[in-house]
Structure 1
C-alpha cells in the first residue's frame, strides 16, 4: 500500500519487543514482515527488558529501537519519546495499553498531527479492566483515556468491540483478526526432551503463566478427570508450557503437586523452534481463559491441525461456528466433563483439520496485512473506508 506511489513509513510501538510481550510479539513481527515485503518502511520501538537483546535478531529485516527504562514496571523510557520525535512516519501503530509508550505515542500525535492506530489486545475486556483495577483507573485518568480517545482508529477483534464502546470510546474501529502461518505438515520436528515417548497423548496449554489463563482451574479439572474418568487420564497427559508472568508459575506447580498431579509437565518457556516442536508433538490444545483479545496460541494450534478446547472468552467465535473448537468453561467440574467426553472420542482429528482449514481460509497474515494497510491508507486520505472499519 502506498501514498501517491510512495512507500509508507510505519512505526510499531509496544512496551516490549521481546518474548516478554507474550502473544503480542508474533503479531507485531508478522505485521512488520508483511509490510516490509510490500515495500514499506517499518521501525519498531520498544523498551528494554531481560529478553530484548536475545530476541532482537528475530525482528529481521526490521531493526528495533529499544530504549533503556528509568522505571521498569511502568516501562518509563524517555528515550522512546525522543526517538519518535526524530521520526517522520506517516502513521504509528501502538500495541497494548497502560504503560509509558502510550504517553510517548500521544506526544508524537500532538506534535505531528498524524494518525495513530491502537491495538487494544484484549486490555479493555471486563476481566482485564478488573485486574489491577485501581492502577488502571489512575492510568486512564492520567493519560490512557486521552490517548485512546485521540486515536484515529482502534484495532481489535469483533468480540472486543462492546468492551471498547463500554469504555466510552467512539473512535472508528477496525475489526481485523490476527493471523497464523501454516507449517509444512511433512516437516518432522524432534520430540522435546521434556516430553516422554511413552505412548500417551498430550493435551497442551501454551501461553504466559498467569491466573487470567485459567491454569489453576484447568489443573483442578484435570484432577477431577483423573478421578471420574481414569480410563481417559491413563491415555493422556497435561502439559502446561509457558513463561512465568508475575511470579505465578511456582504457585501453579505447587497446586499441581498438592492435587497429586505428578504427571503434569511444566517445561517452562518455549519459543521459536521449541514452541513449534511443542505444537507438533501435541494431540490437542487447551485454553480455559477468563479473558482474551484474540489469542495467537489458538491460531497456532489450529495451524498445526490440533483440536482446540477453549472458553467463549477467547473471542474466536468462528472456531465454534466452524466446528474447529470445543467449548469449555472455567468451572473445573464442567471442564473435566467436556474433556473426558471428547478426549475419549473419535472426532479429534476432524476438529483439528477444520481448524487448519479455518486458518488457511480466514486467518492468513497476508490478508490481515492487506486489511491493515487499507485502513492506514484510508486514515491518510488515500482510499475509501474499508469494510472492516465501523464508525458506530
Structure 2
C-alpha cells in the first residue's frame, strides 16, 4: 500500500494556476495511489482561507489538512506545519513537495532526510531563467544555501515542459528529471455554461469581440505588451473588447490602468477580478480569442483552459508550449509587442481560420492533456521510486 504525502505552501485561489494544478492533480491521483494526503497553510493573499485547522478534511480521492501561518513580506512560515512534518513524515512511503523558495517546504526536506523517506520536487517553473532573475539576488542566495542541497538529495525533479527540464539541467542538478505537464478535466470543457452568465455580470461586453486574458495581474504576465498591442488592434477593429480576468496580488493593476489610459483604449477594457467556477467557464464561452503574452510560465493552466474551450489562442514562447504551435493549435510568438500585434490582427482578420485553430487546440488538449492521463503516469513514477527502479518518463536531452 503506497502512502503519499503532498506538501504545498498554499492552495488559495489568489495564487493562480499552480495551486489549482496541485489540487486537481491530487484529486485524480487518488484513483491510482492507495493513500494521498495533502498538507498546506490557510494562506490566501492578504486574507486567510476559512477552513478548519489541524484536522484531516476528506476531499475527492484524497484528504487535506490546513495549518495556520505567519507572514513576513513575501515569505510564509508555519510553526505548526513544521512541527507536524517533523513528527509525521515518517508515516509515508513518499513525499512530493510543490514550489521552491518556500519556507514551509524546507522542514519537509529536512524531515524526509531525517526519516529516510524519498521525496520528489515540483518547482512549477520557479527555476526558469526569467523567474530566477526577478528579485534575483535573494533567489540566488537561497538557491545555493538551501534549495540546491535539497534538490540534490531528492529522488526526482518534476519538470512540466521540455524548456523547464533543459533549464533544470543547466542548473547542474544531479538527480533524474521526469517530464509530465499540467492538465484539465475534460468533462468541464465538453459543454461550457452559457455565455449569458458572463454577460449578465458584465453586460457592456455583450455583442463585442472579446479578447480574454486570464491570469494574475503581474509583471511577468506580459500586460505591458498586451495593452499597446490591443490599443492598436482596437483602432482597426472597434468592436473588439479586452477582458482582463484575474487577481491583483501585488498592487500592479494601477500601473496597467495607467498604460490603458495612455493608450487611449479605456472604454474597451474590462477588469473582472478573479473569475472562478461557472463564471470563468462562461467567460471562456463568451470569448472569441484567448491571449497569454507571458514572459515566463511553468506550464500555464489558463492556456490549457483556453485551448480546451476551443478558443484560438495567442501565446508566447514564455508559455513553454511548443507542441501547440507544432500542431497548429495556437499562434506562438516571442514576447514582443510587434509580434503580439500581428498575431491579434491575424485572429481578428481571419475568423474562420481562427475558429479552425481553436478546434485543433481542443482536440490536442482532450487527447493528451487530461488529468487522468497525467496522474496515471505520475503514479508510475511513484511506484518506480518505491521499488528503487529507474524512473519512467525521465527527460532525455
TM over 0.5: yes
1:115 pairs with one of 113, 118, 121: 118
Q: Which residue of 2 aligns with 1:64?
A: 64
Written as runs of structure 1 = structure 2, the 5 A alignment for 1:353-368 is 353-368=359-374
Q: 1:187-230: CA deviations, max 9, x gaps?
A: 43543212535421111000111110101110011122234xx1
Structure 2 regions of 5+ residues with no counterpart?
none
1:241 has 2:245 as partner: yes
**Correspondence for 1:129:** 132
Matching of residue 153 in structure 1 with residue 149 in structure 2: no
Q: Residue 375 of structure 1 contacts residue 385 of structure 1 at CA under 8 Å; is this kept in 2?
A: yes
1:373 and 2:379 aligned: yes
| Match of residue 303 from structure 1 | 308
The more displaced of 196-205 and 55-64 is 55-64
1:258 shift after superposition = 2.4
Residue 5 of structure 2 corresponds to residue 11 of structure 1: yes
Q: Distance in 2 between matches of 1:244 and 1:143?
A: 29
Task: Please state how far the C-alpha of 1:39 moved relative to its aligned partner.
Answer: 5.4
Provide the C-alpha distance between the structure 1 equivalents of 2:192 and 2:294, rounded to a whole number of angstroms: 31
1:215 is aligned, of 215, 223, 226, to 223
Deviation of 1:186 after TM superposition, in Å, equals 6.2
SS in 2 for 1:37: coil
Task: State the partner residue of 2:17.
Answer: 23
Q: CA deviation at 1:32?
A: 1.3
Distance 1:174 1:99 in 2: 21
CA contact (8 A) 2:125 2:299 kept: yes
How many pairs does the alignment contain? 381
CA distance in 2 between partners of 1:61 and 1:351 (Å):
35
Matched residue, 2:75: 74
C-alpha separation in 1, matches of 2:349 and 2:19: 35
Picking from 332, 335, 350, the partner of 1:330 is 335
Q: Secondary structure at the match of 1:268?
A: coil
Cα distance in structure 1, aligned partners of 2:301 and 2:217: 15
Contact 1:374 1:383 in 2 (8 A): no
Q: CA deviation at 1:287?
A: 0.5
Structure 1 residues 339-364: Cα deviation after superposition (integer angstroms, max 9, x where no partner):
11221102111111111100111111
Structure-to-structure mapping, 1:250-261, within 5 angstroms: 250-261=254-265
Are the equivalent residues in 1 in contact too, given 2:197–2:279 (CA < 8 A)? no
In the alignment, is residue 226 of structure 1 matched against residue 222 of structure 2?
A: no
Report the TM-score, using the length of structure 2 for normalisation: 0.90
Taking only aligned residues, the RMSD between alpha carbons, in angstroms, comes to: 2.1
**Which residue is equivalent to 1:3?**
none
- Alpha-carbon shift at residue 382 of structure 1 (Å): 6.5
1:305–1:356 CA contact under 8 A, matched in 2: yes
SS of residue paired to 2:151: helix
Describe the shift of the 1:58–1:226 C-alpha distance in structure 2 as closer, same or farther (beyond 3 A): farther
Q: Give the TM-score of the pair, scaled to structure 1.
A: 0.91
| Residues 342 and 313 (structure 1), Cα distance of their counterparts in 2 relative to 1, 3 Å cut | same
Unaligned runs of 5+ in 1: 1-5
User: Which residue of 156, 169, 176 maps to 2:173?
Assistant: 169
Rounded Cα–Cα distance in structure 2 between residues aligned with 1:207 and 1:186: 19
Distance 1:186 1:356 in 2: 13
